[in-house]
Structure 1
């Protein structure tokens, strides 16, 4: 049985980060445009994690909220962002949108969602394969 609203962990893994040619902080971008760094794992991969709130819209669809959720109710996403370390009129080297495309049935008892986004580029449109962890 689904219980909304509730918090779900979003975990993104990158086996490697693309070279960008300038100094930048990389991480999940919040609504205040701060970048929250990930963790480098022993195998050299990077893991980025945040918590989002899932809300039931009452018709089998859901919406996402929280400091890391961007976009409109019809197209929610989180940003993996590269922000320049020096002040600039254009602070972003690049940003990759990670769409949050789920319905209430998908996340009925979920506690976390995980995706490997290695190689995903800005403006990518291919679907992301998510793994859903459920409470028992």
Structure 2
């Protein structure tokens, strides 16, 4: 999780500093990949953080947060960009993502990966 957040912070920093369209495009593409990976990880992480009887609620909270962030993030980012400029707005996002890494490492408990035998391979042998 911290790797994807750091990747997101890096991509936003590159966007803020870039003056080359291709680099900016690649940085935004990378940020999209990091964001999509993070959303997918958060659902699984929330399900493992709570007892089995609370998994549905934990997943619903995470998905509700994702919906809110996607709905409110664009208008909030636009307002911030109008106030301080688009480069500064991406710089702020980069710093916030880096600070979030520190918060995650400090406040969010570490959980083991998939339990033994719990994963189903994508491709089964014949």
Query: In which range does the TM-score fall when normalised by the shorter chain?
Result: under 0.3
With the length of structure 2 as denominator, give the TM-score of the two structures: 0.26
With the length of structure 1 as denominator, give the TM-score of the two structures: 0.25
Larger Rg: 2
More strand by share: 1
